[in-house]
Amino acid sequence: MTLAIRSDGLSKQFGKLPAVEGLDLRVPEGTITAFLGPNGAGKTTTIRLLLGLLKPTSGTCEVLGHQPGQVEALRQLGAMVESPSLYGHLTGYENVEITRLMRGGARPETDRVLEVVGLTRDAHRVVQQYSLGMRQRLAMALALFGNPRLLVLDEPTNGLDPAGIQEIRELIRQVPRQTGATVFLSSHILAEVEQIASNLVVIHRGLLRYQGPTADLGGQGAAWQQIRVDQAGRAMDLLRGGGLEVSFEDPYVLVQSSDEGVPALAALLVSSGVALYELKPRTVSLETRFLALLEGA
């Protein structure tokens, strides 16, 4: 498996405060990989390390086989980090042309990236007149310039209305299909991530909590059971003590278990004095599974 991003023991401290600790990242090429974690988990710090904007305190990192910040890596990646910096008094076309003149490339590339993000009709409007969604699409055009092998996006739908979110989501979904590029994006909108990301990386308090296929975390591949009992708190403690992933959606306890494990699960609760009123299979959303992972961390 060829990796677009690899890190070993990647750590960054600010003074005595650890922002990320010992991250061993493995991001396969050609995937859409979502980078998840609550606010303050270390996502933006990690992205800045990957782009060479910060130097690690310890550990190593490779982006497309090169050290972050090296020219060989920068030539092959596009990035959109936090709020995009655009020239508001210039047109969308002129903004992309500035990138072309700085990076080199033929003029048709400007037309191509504007077409990819759906801004051809509005290319000659001043950016000050753009909606927030159009600005985000223009920033995506700049990131896509030159057909990068890796696209790094930090909260690309932040601040957008539902229509804008859908536009960016569909645009991201098309990138690997059209160009073969890898997409690595941070987001806090789990419902959107579930629809487009084939892989996940989850960090919490600077530590890696999960990486792998979305289905294995989100309930498409993992089997869950929905339980209604008289002592939810005690039931959750018992199940966690048995090494099971557990979450709570009032009035139900949700537990990761195959159908084959149900008899033992029921026996554990009943033998411990917990009255079992209902037990049936449950499809669990990525959000529920994500929260269960953090609760158990």
Q: Could you report the per-residue pLDDT of 194-209, keeping only the tens digit for each?
A: 889 999 999 999 999 9
List all residues 6 or more positions away from 134 whose beta carbon is below 8 Å from its beta carbon. Answer: 92, 119, 122
Q: Summarize the confidence of residues 233-255 as an average pLDDT.
A: 91
Domain final position from 186, 212, 238: 212
Predicted confidence at residue 202, as pLDDT, reads 94
Are 189 and 247 found together in one domain? Answer: no
Domain final position from 212, 228, 260: 212
Are 153 and 285 found together in one domain? Answer: no
Are 64 and 130 found together in one domain? Answer: yes
Are 30 and 177 found together in one domain? Answer: yes
* CA atoms of 213 and 117, how far apart (whole Å): 27
* CA atoms of 128 and 207, how far apart (whole Å): 40
The residue range of the domain holding 272 is: 219-295
User: What CATH number does residue 251 fall under?
Assistant: 3.30.70.80
* CA atoms of 74 and 53, how far apart (whole Å): 11
The pLDDT of residue 48 is above 70? yes
Are 134 and 256 found together in one domain? Answer: no
- Report CA 178 to chain centroid distance, whole Å: 20
Name 91's bridge partners.
126
Are 200 and 237 found together in one domain? Answer: no
User: What CATH number does residue 19 fall under?
Assistant: 3.40.50.300
* CA atoms of 132 and 255, how far apart (whole Å): 41
As for how many domains the chain has, the answer is: 2
Could you please report the per-residue DSSP string of 192-253? HHHHH-SEEEEEETTEEEEEEEHHHHHSSSS-EEEEEES-HHHHHHHHHHTT--EEEETTEE
Which strand (E) or helix (H) includes residue 173?
A: helix 162-179
Tell me the helices (H) and strands (E) count for the chain, helix number first. 11, 14
Predicted confidence at residue 15, as pLDDT, reads 92
Predicted confidence at residue 56, as pLDDT, reads 96
Are 273 and 191 found together in one domain? Answer: no
Are 79 and 58 found together in one domain? Answer: yes
Predicted confidence at residue 155, as pLDDT, reads 87
Q: How does residue 296 score in pLDDT terms, banded at 50, 70 and 90?
A: low
The pLDDT of residue 20 is above 90? yes
The pLDDT of residue 219 is above 60? no
Name 167's bridge partners.
none
Measured CA distances, 122 to 107, 108, 114, 115, 178 (Å):
17, 17, 9, 10, 22
Average pLDDT, the chain: 90
List all residues 6 or more positions away from 293 whose beta carbon is below 8 Å from its beta carbon. Answer: 202, 204, 209, 210, 217, 245
- Report CA 199 to chain centroid distance, whole Å: 8
Predicted confidence at residue 218, as pLDDT, reads 52
Predicted confidence at residue 284, as pLDDT, reads 72
Are 24 and 43 found together in one domain? Answer: yes
E strands of 124-174, at which residues?
Answer: 150-154
Q: Summarize the confidence of residues 228-250 as an average pLDDT.
A: 91
Predicted confidence at residue 114, as pLDDT, reads 94
Q: Report the percentage of the chain scoring pLDDT > 70.
A: 98
Q: Tell me which of 4-13, 151-160, 286-295 is least confident.
A: 286-295
The pLDDT of residue 292 is above 80? no
Are 171 and 238 found together in one domain? Answer: no
Predicted confidence at residue 221, as pLDDT, reads 52
Predicted confidence at residue 151, as pLDDT, reads 95
Residue 222 and residue 212 in contact, taking contact as beta carbons nearer than 8 Å: no
Q: How does residue 24 score in pLDDT terms, banded at 50, 70 and 90?
A: very high
> Which value, to the nearest 10 degrees, does the dihedral of the CA atoms of residues 80, 83, 88, 94 take?
0
Are 136 and 18 found together in one domain? Answer: yes
Predicted confidence at residue 297, as pLDDT, reads 57
Predicted confidence at residue 278, as pLDDT, reads 94
Predicted confidence at residue 288, as pLDDT, reads 77
Phi, psi of 239 (to 5 degrees): -70, -40
CA angle centred on 137, ends 131 and 141, rounded to 5°: 140
Q: Report the percentage of the chain scoring pLDDT > 90.
A: 62
Name 40's bridge partners.
none
